[in-house]
Structure 1
Amino acid sequence: MRLTGGVTGKGAAGRWQDAAEGTHGDLLDLIRENCGLTEFREVAEEARRFLGLTGDDHTAGYEHCCRPLGHLPSLPGSCAIPEPQADDGCDPAPDAAQAQRAARRLFGMAQPLPGTLAETYLHRRGITPEALIGIDALRFHPRCFHRATPEAQPKPWPALIAAVTDLDGRITGIQRTWLDPDGCAPLDPIRLGKAPLATPRRALGLLLGHAGRFGTAPGLECEPVNGLLMAGEGIETVLSLRCVLSAMPMAAALSAGHLAALLLPAGLRRLYIARDADAAGDRAMASLTERAIAAGVEAITLSPRLGDFNDDLRELGVAELRANLRVQLAPEDAQRFLVSG
């Protein structure tokens, strides 16, 4: 990477070259390669998100989140830049501290999960009541504002609110999943209970390196139970695993890019990586595995039979999910943590 330029005539500052492969380019080329993008418009949008130059986070499904460059999980910022919301009081382009304050405020305004539409949504995704016991990181907001575009008027929708915390248990951000208000309607195979919006998921605050955490005692996120941790992408994916591994601490990084950059807690000796069965999931798994091994942590990959572990739970059932995990877990962990059926 050229840090200075323009004097020797060999290139401008910010240009890079891979001597082994002969490839070269600038930051936009790096974004394109790491995100697997093809259209310049998409590359420019990702660059603006990373720099915080837009008020709209466009993070539906996190399809275009970048993998962290190299192995620097402490890079400032996040692939998910927050949007201004009528319920968080943010300026159109909030800084990181402002976004985190807004995230904490919105999470504080939400109500506990039991008995809400958010709990119904998770049950309809196949999540068992037992898997939600002791979950404090998930709440429900009955009127969480959603803005379709930066210029549009915000509209309220019910939403599942997930807290994102650092290794000390401090809330650094949230993820909002807007829900179909008709929780009794037939489950749409595409939306799966989410609101009929172009972007039914959005993040607010700082996500990079952090996660939604389940099965850890408050304030003890940096102390894995028996030195174990299971990490995956989505909230529903990780909660699906809790249906058969309810006593194992778990972290939902919320996207493939953020899973690759997940900060590893002190005392961790074995990391289970619950990958999604797609190209982004493969890249995240490879990156996190390499970082874990470099830190002296054993990394074991768990693979679903279908697209992800929530697909397995909904379409194959709890018994098949349990059987698939039994042969992938370390024998001592399968015996200790796997819930018998």
Structure 2
Amino acid sequence: MAAQIYHPFSTFNFSNTKCFLTGDSLSSTEEKIQVFPQWLMSRYSLEDKPFKLLDESIATYKDLKVPCSAAVNEQYLEPLEAEIAAAFELGYEGLKALDELRLFQWVCKLLYGIVFNELQAGIKLQHAQGEEFNISQSIIHKFSHLHLMLQSINLPITFEDFKPYSLFLFKVDNHAEEFGYRDEINTQTFALRIADFGLVMCLQDNGANGSYHRELYEQLKNDTLHPIQFEEFSARVFYSNYLFNRLPEYEVMPVGEEIFVEAMPLRGISSKPLFDDWTNKTYGQVLESFWKSWGFLLLEIIKNPNQPISFLFDADGNRVPAGAITLHP
């Protein structure tokens, strides 16, 4: 039987009666899995830590769950979690050796799990106010494609001659117990800094941010970074993905038992560049938020508007070695 793609956004059904991944009916609304896997929450004592949702309400990490069929969890998700947990246990070298597609699937699962919780909260709130739930078409477009790509976990989906993401991985001199997590749901950007590594991923840019930062990444990727340096690189990627001005389109082609996903050219019919213009003042605001632990303020960061403060490069453009940085959060 040909594989069937599940389209939750066509019916807008985000209830707890259907599996979030396959749409299969569940025997109980208690059939759920954690968004943040138990192995990660236990390792960093996250269960009761606050997690802020888009509507400013506060949940805890352990509150975030998605409805999931026990069979789907056992067959597809638990093996994925086991693979990722084993790689994380080995740190940077484990991540480097991991199949990138598996890491992409894991990040998709995590981000889509957060999206699912945000949608449930939004629907509940607007219904309580007697309103219809409203969400922009461009956001639906992005979330639908995120869910399509997520189904590469359980369906024979092949990404035809492209990677739907940009991935940046570094060795970072982190504190052993530190858990640095950040996401931007609208642009689908993800960063995680734990153990001896930091990674940043843009989930649906077809590698555009990878190309945008290629020269910079080539200069840095073999170095061990100080945490403030990794946060600076992350800020650059989060900001560039905000400037990325295309909504990628995909051709989905079922062929026999398989499903091929082909990316339409990003240039499309628009003659304008893929990224809007970089503005140092806006970048400085992003950087201020990423450097919160070190207390830098926007006025200091963009004291020279043409050259914001950097811990990656000195004023002459030379690399700053991590060992030369004495800052502590």
Q: Same fold (TM over 0.5)?
A: no
What TM-score range do you get, normalising by the shorter chain? under 0.3
TM-score, with length taken from structure 2:
0.27
More helix by share: 2
TM-score, with length taken from structure 1:
0.27
